[in-house]
């Protein structure tokens, strides 16, 4: 998964809004982002990546945009695009 933009309300220790990334589905090895810091590209150790966008009731920003690719057993990549904003506009595009 590659993050193209990330704009999330910033606060000390990301207490207001935060983007949590989990390799898999558990909180182990989770990473926390807020503000304009852009997560590094990553490849998960399994077929699961969990993204949690936590927001509070005030101060909205643009959210994040990321793309991901599925690597099948032959090593082929299939690209996808995912966009999520604080306004709960949810767009999921699956490229042919
Ligand atoms: Ca907020």
Contact 77, 69 (CB under 8 A): yes
Residue 54 CA, ligand 1 centroid: distance in Å: 8
Contact 2, 49 (CB under 8 A): no
Residue 29, SS3? Answer: coil
Residue 25 CA, ligand 1 centroid: distance in Å: 24
Q: What is the pLDDT along the chain (96 residues), one digit of tens a residue?
A: 999 999 999 999 999 999 999 998 887 778 999 999 999 999 888 888 889 999 998 888 999 999 888 888 887 878 877 666 554 444 455 555
Residue 37 CA, ligand 1 centroid: distance in Å: 16
* Fold (CATH) for 2-84: Jelly Rolls (2.60.120)
Residue 63 CA, ligand 1 centroid: distance in Å: 10
Residue extents of the structural domains in the chain = 2-84
Give the residue carrying structure tokens 């306004």: 87
Q: Which two tokens stand for residue 33?
A: 């982002």
Task: Say how many Å lie between the first and final Cα of the chain, rounded.
Answer: 18
């Amino acid at each position: 998964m590659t993050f193209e933009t990330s704009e999330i309300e910033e606060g000390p220790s990301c207490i207001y809004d935060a983007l949590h990334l989990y390799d898999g589905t558990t909180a182990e090895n989770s990473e926390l982002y807020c503000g304009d810091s852009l997560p590094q590209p990553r490849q998960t150790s399994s077929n699961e990546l969990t993204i949690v966008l936590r927001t509070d009731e005030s101060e909205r920003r643009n959210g994040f945009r990321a793309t991901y690719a599925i690597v099948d057993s032959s090593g082929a990549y299939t690209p996808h695009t995912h966009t999520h904003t604080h306004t709960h506009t949810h767009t999921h595009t699956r490229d042919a």
